[in-house]
Amino acid sequence: MTKLGVNIDHVATVRQARYRGRDTGEPDPVEAALACESAGAHGITAHLREDRRHVIDRDMYSLREKITTRLNFEMANVPEIVAIALDVKPDIVCIVPERREELTTEGGLNAVGNLSALKETCTKMSDTGIEVSLFIDPDESQVNSAAESGAGFIELHTGTYAEEFTNTDAREAELTRLAAAAKQAQDAGLQVNAGHGLNLQNVPILLKRVPGLVELNIGHTLISRAVMIGIEAAVKEMLALLD
């Protein structure tokens, strides 16, 4: 079975909208992570961005302390965040590109252009017992550099596949690229995850066409579905109190 890693960033996004700068606030991403685990999720992913727009430092430490599945610490390869990751000691870090003005991670990492910096971080992480994944586009040269970097995993960026899902030609082209990149990486000894923009509609075809994926990292749709599935219960709870 392909594993599910739940990205809880957007639980923190909602909390920060009201409680930025405060010591507590709802919804608590750690409480959400524990609920995901009790529902059967295989791991929890959180992205500590340099601008701390959603997940903040104390969330990472608290997740490390409280969750019992795997903690995937998503991060840019910059000294401040590398130092925090080495201190938190997650099970795995996923290195992503980060631009301050972006809405979410847009595009994969340039592993080719940043190979020596990536090698350095992979060495630091593996010396501390932390696995490394590189979030890359399904591109032959990027897979080659990932294989050279010392990372044990790649996460294939499925954003284009998700965006083009209703355009059959473009979707097929992207599925072909994803399957080729996954095979190339697996042949090179890398474990292959995938993520970005995945949902109930596009996951089945991805799994069928790209075999051997170890884990899917899914965030936005799960938080969206949680609102839609959960809001009735939340309103009923408040009405019961008013009655």
Residues that bind ligand PXP (CB under 6 A): 7, 9, 47, 74, 94, 96, 104-105, 135, 155, 195-198, 217-221
The backbone region for 108, taken as left when phi is positive above 0, alpha when psi lies in -120 to 50, beta otherwise, is beta
CB of 201 to ligand PXP, least distance (A): 13
Half-sphere exposure of residue 18, counting CA atoms within 13 Å on the CB side? 8
Element (H, E) at 19: helix 9-19
* Known active-site residue 101: no
* Catalytic site residue from 10, 54, 74, 164: 74
Residue (127 or 203) nearer to ligand PXP, CB? 203
Count the neighbouring beta carbons within 10 Å of the beta carbon of residue 168: 9
CB of 17 to ligand PXP, least distance (A): 17
Residue (184 or 193) nearer to ligand PXP, CB? 193
CB of 143 to ligand PXP, least distance (A): 16
* Known active-site residue 157: no
* Catalytic site residue from 10, 54, 157, 196: 196
Amino acid at 178: L
Burial class (CB in 10 A: 0-12, 13-18, 19+), 117: middle
> Alpha helices, DSSP H only, in the chain?
9-19, 29-38, 57-66, 79-88, 115-127, 140-149, 159-163, 168-187, 203-209, 220-242
Residue (184 or 202) nearer to ligand PXP, CB? 202
CA 162 to CA 226: how far, in whole Å? Answer: 20
Residue (159 or 175) nearer to ligand PXP, CB? 159
* Known active-site residue 47: yes
Residue (34 or 216) nearer to ligand PXP, CB? 216
CB of 60 to ligand PXP, least distance (A): 15
* Catalytic site residue from 10, 47, 54, 157: 47
Residues β-bridged to residue 94:
74, 133
CB of 220 to ligand PXP, least distance (A): 3
Q: Is the C-alpha dihedral spanning 129, 124, 85, 143 positive or negative?
A: negative
Active-site residue set: 47, 74, 196
